[in-house]
Structure 1
Amino acid sequence: MASKSKKTAKGRVTGSAGRFGPRYGRFTRKMVNESEKVSRAKHLCPMCDTVAVKRVGTGIWECKKCGYKYAGGAYVPQTPALKVVLRSIDTKGV
């Protein structure tokens, strides 16, 4: 008997972008899938250092443990520009 493994088409995007079906192109669905995966994941809290930060709304992030609520990026809690600023602040204090 053959093994009962799932066979998927080469290059097919699954996950949250599967709701689009064949529409919008493979690259667009792949980008949507990656950004939604990051935005729905739990992130590190800047106050209590616990992985408990969830997205409440567009750009609003809240820690489920300590209740700390702050503004961040639309899909990630810390934007790349914020990381650059934090790095420059840390080096100037030394």
Structure 2
Amino acid sequence: MARKQGSTALKGHGVKFGATVRKRYGKVYRTLHKKRRCPSCGSLKFSRIASGIWECPKCSFKVASGAYDVDTEKLQI
């Protein structure tokens, strides 16, 4: 029988960490690495450059927000 391919987000996190911790980590990883649209220019290159600092390299728009996610509805200036 063939082995099941594991998720890259949880690679190296075996049984010793527990199911709840792995589920939480997987959710944070997926949230952090999803594609985001820049609130200023609309490009899909909006990404995190440091914890809580988000930047669009296309238009140089920077914003300080959450560590793992940016809520673009709160960015209405």
Q: Which whole-Å CA distance do the structure 2 matches of 1:15 and 1:26 have between them?
A: 16
TM-score (norm 1): 0.64
Aligned partner (choices 41, 48, 65) of residue 41 of structure 2: 48
Q: Which whole-Å CA distance do the structure 2 matches of 1:14 and 1:26 have between them?
A: 14
- RMSD between aligned alpha carbons? 2.7
SS of equivalent residue, structure 2 residue 55: strand
User: Which amino acid is 2:18 matched to?
Assistant: G
Q: What corresponds to 1:28 in structure 2?
A: 21
The structure carrying a bigger helix percent of its residues is 1
* Stretches of structure 2 lacking an aligned partner (at least 5 in a row): none
Larger Rg: 1 or 2?
1
> In the comparison of the two structures, how many residue pairs are matched?
76
* Stretches of structure 1 lacking an aligned partner (at least 5 in a row): 90-94
Identity of aligned residues (%): 29
Q: What corresponds to 2:66 in structure 1?
A: 73
Structure with more relative contact order (C-alpha pairs < 8 Å, separation 6 or more): 2
User: Which amino acid is 2:32 matched to?
Assistant: S
User: Which amino acid is 1:31 matched to?
Assistant: R
